[in-house]
A = this chain, B = another copy of it.
Amino acid sequence: MTPDRPYHHGNLRQAVLEQATPVVRDRGASELSLRELAAAVGVSHAAVRRHFPDRRQLHDALAVEGFALLGTRLRDAVDAAPDYRAQIHSLARAYLDFVTSEANLAELMFAHKHGEGGEAVSAAAEAAFAPMLLVFERGLADELEDTSPQRTALIFFATLQGLAGLVNCGMITADQLGGLIEEAVAQFPQGRVGR
């Protein structure tokens, strides 16, 4: 209805994000250029700076999107598994699949220093990991051990994150990952719960 190129773009913020998404996925966050994005959506470079005053704010917005995507993946992983044990396996596979297939996006998501004015990012991250925490809370509810579900979830997550880092920096291949996941998961709380 409106002319092909009205003075006001109307949805510039969203357009920039959509333009940025494939760039960060294929070329990495460091290759993001506000000027290049502006040119790509056909607007002056100063215009996009109104929505994203600097690169950090753009990174934050992309990180929030990334965590939203990760959250749905983890939730689906939990829903698809019948019991606690299977859910842990399912979570591990889903998480590593995300982090390795979207390596550049994941790097952007975790490179960000939380708590430096990026409350939105922190909140998005917390929401994304909620399904994982929930699994451990349910699975370890009948435990009287001195360990808390939060701590177990944190270590579980750290292990996955570490394995993902190893494959992303080339120290191990994606092939080896499956076996390592099995072995890593085997060390986890079920050892205590089941015994």
Contacts and interface: CB of A to CB of B under 8 A. Distances in A.
Interface of A: 30, 107, 110-116, 122, 125, 147, 151-152, 154-155, 157-163, 165-166, 168-172, 179-180, 183-184, 187-188, 191
Taken together, the copies of this chain in the complex come to: 2
B161 A166 contact: yes
Given A155-B163, A158-B163, 7 more contacts: A114-B171, A116-B170, A122-B170, A154-B172, A155-B184, A158-B162, A159-B162
A60 to B, nearest CB: 13
Nearest to A166: B158
Interface of A is mostly: helix
Q: Closest 4 CB pairs between A and B? A: A158-B162, A162-B162, A114-B170, A161-B162
A112 B166 CA distance: 11
25 contacts: A110-B165, A112-B169, A113-B168, A113-B169, A114-B169, A114-B170, A114-B171, A122-B170, A125-B171, A151-B180, A151-B183, A154-B166, A154-B172, A154-B180, A155-B163, A155-B180, A155-B184, A157-B162, A157-B166, A158-B163, A158-B180, A158-B184, A161-B161, A165-B165, A187-B191
